[in-house]
Every structure is written in C-alpha cells, then in structure tokens.
C-alpha cells in the first residue's frame, strides 16, 4: 500500500515538474535565427507626449491648457519626432525603444500619426519596440483644442494599441520569443547574447503594478535566459527604483520590490524607464534603474545603450538637434532656428511661473530686495533645468551651501516647490546621471 502511495506521489510530482518545463518551452519559441551577431545597440526615448496638429489650432484653449502651463514645446512635437527619426537613422541602432507616454493623452489620431512616422525607420531596417505609458490607453483626457473649445476625441484601448503598433513589438515578429498572457509585456531577442524584456504596467486592470501572473512569467523567462548565459535588459514606463523621495508614489511601480528581487536573483542589471521626465540613475543591490528625461522636454534627451560580446553595457545620452533636421530638409522657421534657446526658455518660463506664485505673496513684501527675488527665481530655474537634465554636477554654483538656496529654505520651507528644491540637493545629485558602464 505504502509503495503504491509513494509511486503515485512520484508520478504526480514528476508530472508537475515536466509540465512546468513544457510550459516554458511553449512560451519561449526556441529561435534558432541563423547568423545572429553578439552584442547590440539600442536607442531609447520616453515620454514624447505627441499631440497631433489635427487636434488643435493652437488658439485660446490650447494656450490656456497646454501652451502656457506645459514646460514642453508641445506645438513643435512633430519636428522633435522628425528630428529624432533622422538622428536614429544616422546612429543605425538595432532597435529604437519607446518606453511609453507616446501620446499627449492617448488620442487615436496622435497614436496613428506617430505610428505612421515610425514606418520610416521600419523601411530603413531599424526595428522599433514600444510599450504603453499611463497616458496612452483608455485615457479620459483625450481632447481636441480649437478656438476656446475643448472637446473629447476618440481614445484607444489596449486592443487598438496592439493593432496600431503591430509592426513595433505588438504583432508577429520572429524575434519576439515570448509574450505574457496577462499584459502587453514581451521578450525580444536582440542578439545571440542579449534579450530585451519590455514590461507593460499600463494596460488591463493592474495599472502601475505587475500582476502575479506577469511576475511568474518574468521568472520563467529569466530562468530560461540565465540557463543559456544570455543577458536581459528590461524596459518599463514607470520606475523600479525611487529617483526622488518626494516622488515615489505614482512613479515607482507599486510592487517594484518583487521585480527588483527577481532581477537581483537572475542578474538583470539594468532597467530603462521614463515617466518622471527626469534624467537620473538609481542603484540598489547591483540593479540599476535609469529614468530617462522626456524627449519632448528641454534638453530633449535620448539614450544610446551599447552592449558588447562580453555583456558589458555602456549607457550614455545625447541631446537632439532640431537645426540638423531643418538644415537637411531646408525647413525655415524663425522660432526653430535657435530651438535650444527657445525650448530652454519655455522650461524657464514654466519654472518662473511656479516660483512667482510663491514669491508674490505677503511673505515677501518689504522683506527682500528686488535683486534677491530675481536671484532666487533664477536659482530655481537653473536647479530645475540642470536637475531634469541630470547635470547638476556640471554647475559648481548648484550646491547645498549656495546662499540663495539657504534663502529659499529659510523663508519658504513649507511651500511645496521649496520642498521639491530641497529634495534635489541630495548627495547623489553630484554624480553624472547621463553615463554609466555596467559590467555583468
């Protein structure tokens, strides 16, 4: 009798072990793509927030809701995308990764326009891979802006997203070796030793969260890739580590610690994220999360990630040049000739608008000289622009002991904007957040 029970147990356990292995085999297509090289080159952008020019006349309602309040030159976003496409063709990476918030607020027209522009890269043999951001699917704020009217326009759901971007990671592709059943996440085989794990946390029920099903899928594919000594670089929209203590909730994926644990276990060293519009490198237990600045915001950063055949990852950023694109196509536009200055000015005006709200109250009347107020305003501008570019380290004036920072902290410490200013000046802000080399 006992022997019978033991035999039965062995059969049952054996069945579960085998069926789990089979599941991995079923999920991960064994791709024997011939002639796969080693290493690879990735360009990453995030948070383009593209608004189609067919949805606005850039009149009153646009200016009031976007033009004046947004630090990004949204009106020029089509030129930003065109310039990016030109630079990506010159760099000729294996893939361009877009880590979400492709559109302003998920408008169908904006999605379709971006997708159609991306076809240029497809025609040049450069694969584009996308995942959605929190603005891209089922948005309740998809609007048009004409005259003084704001009207709801058609948004898209996750099926539409898959259809619109079917050539860009969401449809059939022999290099997509596994897809998650619980989200739009997938695994892309970049080369013989490198895989990209594109993690979706913005469709279905689990927004800014990875479901248990997806976590199990991640573990199965990481087991598979590590058994073959291949590396995985992951990509997510929201962050897997904190980049600024004031902005953790809503920015870091809710159950990010489970992801980081898995990455630590299977030696996934790098996650490329976005969402914060901030260029910042965080590290925990050997796992790096690099939040990239928004391509739509000054200084219009994109990242280049180079992986060699011994799994060394080199990460650095570049700044987009609109004038290069204008020169190439003979495009004339006075605003865009000095696009860098124009776009920085847009960012500056936005910060000044916020600062002046703090500095125009009763607290300042008769207490500060005019030049002190101006100094404080400009300090806030320089701090914000340099912080979002990951470049505080470059400006020796931007330090904790700067007397203008002390003035802000002494008199306005209870204001949100000043708490934010204080949060910038942590010890790690003095590092270069635009470059890193990670050895496996």
* Residue placing its CB nearer to Fe ion in the complex, 45 or 405: 45
The pattern of x and - marking residues 256 through 295 that bind Fe ion according to CB under 5 A reads -------------------x--------------------
CB 77 within 8 A of CB 89: no
DSSP state letters, 114-128: HHHHHHHHHHTT-EE
* Residue placing its CB nearer to Fe ion in the complex, 75 or 277: 277
The pattern of x and - marking residues 224 through 263 that bind Fe ion according to CB under 5 A reads ----------------------------------------
* Residue placing its CB nearer to Fe ion in the complex, 134 or 183: 134
Out of 61, 127, 134, 311, the residue judged to bind Fe ion by CB under 5 A: 134
Contact window for Fe ion (CB under 5 A) among 1-9, 27-35, 79-87, 94-102: 94-102
Size of the site for Fe ion (CB under 5 A): 4
* Residue placing its CB nearer to Fe ion in the complex, 290 or 381: 290
Rounded to whole angstroms, the Cα distance separating 135 from 127 reads 23
Rounded to whole angstroms, the Cα distance separating 419 from 334 reads 38
Rounded to whole angstroms, the Cα distance separating 37 from 94 reads 11
Q: Does 101 bind Fe ion (CB under 5 A)?
A: yes
Smallest distance, Fe ion to C-beta of residue 116, A: 23
* Burial group, residue 275, by CB count within 10 angstroms (0-12, 13-18, 19+): buried
* Residue placing its CB nearer to Fe ion in the complex, 278 or 381: 278
Smallest distance, Fe ion to C-beta of residue 86, A: 25
Smallest distance, Fe ion to C-beta of residue 135, A: 6
Q: Could you say which DSSP state residue 205 is in?
A: S
Q: Does 391 bind Fe ion (CB under 5 A)?
A: no
Out of 40, 67, 106, 133, the residue judged to bind Fe ion by CB under 5 A: 133
Q: Does 382 bind Fe ion (CB under 5 A)?
A: no
Smallest distance, Fe ion to C-beta of residue 296, A: 12
Smallest distance, Fe ion to C-beta of residue 200, A: 13
3-state secondary structure of 318: strand
* Residue placing its CB nearer to Fe ion in the complex, 81 or 276: 276
CA-to-CA separations, 160 to 15, 75, 163, 250, 348, in angstroms, rounded: 39, 25, 5, 25, 37
Smallest distance, Fe ion to C-beta of residue 255, A: 18
| Residue 126 C-alpha from the chain's centroid | 20
Residue the block writes with tokens 């030109």: 86
How many residues are present in the chain? 440
* Burial group, residue 364, by CB count within 10 angstroms (0-12, 13-18, 19+): middle
Residue the block writes with tokens 């916020």: 354
Tell me whether strands 95-99 and 40-45 are parallel, antiparallel or unpaired: parallel
The pattern of x and - marking residues 326 through 365 that bind Fe ion according to CB under 5 A reads ----------------------------------------
Closest CA to 279 of 327, 248, 252, 317: 317
Contact window for Fe ion (CB under 5 A) among 32-40, 100-108, 111-119, 176-184: 100-108
The H or E element spanning position 437 is: strand 435-439
Binding site for Fe ion (CB under 5 A): 101, 133-134, 275
């Amino acid at each position: 009798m006992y022997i019978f029970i033991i035999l039965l147990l062995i059969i049952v356990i054996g069945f579960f072990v085998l069926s789990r292995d089979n599941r991995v085999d079923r999920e991960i297509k064994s791709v024997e793509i011939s002639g796969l090289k080693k290493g690879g080159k990735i360009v990453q952008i995030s948070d383009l927030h593209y608004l189609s020019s067919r949805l606005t006349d850039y009149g009153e309602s646009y200016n009031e809701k976007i033009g004046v309040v947004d630090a990004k030159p949204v009106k020029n976003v089509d030129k930003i995308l065109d310039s990016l496409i030109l630079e990506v063709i010159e760099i000729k990476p294996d893939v361009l990764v877009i880590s979400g918030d492709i559109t302003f607020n998920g408008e169908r027209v904006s999605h379709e326009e971006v997708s159609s522009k991306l076809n240029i890269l497809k025609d040049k043999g450069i694969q584009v891979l996308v995942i959605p951001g929190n603005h891209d699917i089922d948005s309740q704020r998809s609007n048009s802006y004409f005259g003084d009217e704001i009207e709801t326009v058609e948004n898209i759901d996750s099926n539409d997203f898959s259809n619109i971007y079917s050539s860009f990671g969401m449809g059939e592709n022999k290099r997509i070796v596994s897809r998650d059943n619980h989200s739009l996440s997938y695994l892309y085989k970049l080369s013989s030793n490198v895989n990209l794990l594109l993690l979706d946390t913005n469709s279905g029920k689990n927004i800014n969260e990875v479901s248990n099903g997806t976590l199990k899928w991640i573990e199965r594919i990481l087991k598979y890739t590590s058994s073959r000594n291949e590396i995985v670089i992951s990509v997510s929209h929201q962050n897997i580590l904190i980049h600024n203590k004031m902005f953790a909730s809503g920015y870091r994926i809710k159950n990010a610690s489970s992801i980081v644990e898995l990455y630590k276990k299977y030696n996934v060293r790098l996650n490329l994220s976005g969402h914060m519009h901030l260029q910042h490198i965080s590290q925990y237990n050997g796992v790096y999360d690099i939040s990239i600045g928004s391509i739509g915001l000054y200084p219009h950063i994109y990242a280049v990630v180079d992986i060699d055949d011994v799994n060394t990852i080199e990460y650095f950023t570049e700044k987009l040049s609109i004038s290069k694109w204008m020169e190439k196509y003979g495009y004339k536009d006075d605003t865009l000739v000095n696009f860098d200055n124009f776009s920085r000015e847009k960012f500056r005006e936005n910060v000044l608008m916020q600062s002046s709200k703090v500095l125009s109250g009763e607290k300042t009347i008769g207490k500060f000289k005019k030049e002190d107020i101006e100094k404080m305003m400009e300090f806030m501008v320089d701090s914000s622009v340099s912080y979002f570019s990951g470049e505080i380290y470059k400006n020796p004036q931007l330090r904790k002991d700067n007397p203008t920072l002390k003035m802000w902290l002494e008199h306005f410490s209870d204001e949100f904007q000043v708490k934010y200013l204080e949060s910038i000046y942590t010890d790690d802000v003095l590092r270069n957040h635009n470059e890193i080399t990670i050895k496996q």
